[in-house]
Amino acid sequence: MSEGKGITVLAICGSLRKASFNKSLLRTAIELKPAGMTIEVADIASIPLYNEDVRAEGYPPPVERLRRQIAAADALLFVTPEYNYSMPGVLKNAIDWASRPPDQPFAGKPAAIMGASAGLGGTMRAQYDLRRSCVFLDMRPINKPEVFVASAGQKFDSEGRFNDETGRGLVRDLLVALESWTRRLGRSV
């Protein structure tokens, strides 16, 4: 990747609810992204439950689209809530579908992770589980900054705007770090 080329990031949100804190956090990321970055949002809502018998017959169209989007992106941004101390089933399901052979598209991709929850942990456990999947799939997740938005109900206004200035700074820093890491790794990774 040349220094002058912009970076394309595919964002995958683990929440399907329209008014979710995590979708609002993703909108904040799009608002705060560096000038040379484009963020495209993947739609995982119509991906069926993983079934190897179905995959053996061919990838369903929503899965094909997600796999193409992952392959075309320079980097990935995962935005995840935390359900029952882990990542949501819809996010894990999308990762499971997209990661099947041939040509597993996650390998070598720079990735960043962030999340928001009403609880005090701010998605820490979900992010750690997601990070383990990233490592297994040979993604290159950045380590810092970590963005754990805790007590999210107090940090988003009624229109879904993330109003925590420290948190907004961390989101901005995360995207700058993702851009730098992506350039450092290049497309040859």
pLDDT confidence band for 87 (50 / 70 / 90): very high
| Domain 7-185: assigned CATH number | 3.40.50.360
pLDDT confidence band for 5 (50 / 70 / 90): confident
**Residue 3 confidence (pLDDT) above 60:** no
Mean pLDDT on 141-162 = 96
19-29: pLDDT as tens digits: 999 999 999 99
pLDDT confidence band for 188 (50 / 70 / 90): very low
Domain locations in the chain? Answer: 7-185
93-150: pLDDT as tens digits: 999 999 998 899 999 999 999 999 999 999 999 999 999 999 999 999 999 999 999 9
**Residue 2 confidence (pLDDT) above 90:** no
What pLDDT does residue 186 have?
87
What pLDDT does residue 189 have?
35
What SS3 string covers the chain?
A: CCCCCCEEEEEEECCCCCCCHHHHHHHHHHHHCCCCEEEEECCCCCCCCCCHHHHHCCCCHHHHHHHHHHHHCCEEEEECCCECCECCHHHHHHHHHHCCCCCCCCCCCEEEEEEECCCCCCCHHHHHHHHHHHHHCCCEECCCCCEEECCHHHCECCCCCECCHHHHHHHHHHHHHHHHHHHHHCCCC
41-69: pLDDT as tens digits: 999 999 999 999 999 999 999 999 999 99
pTM of the model: 0.95
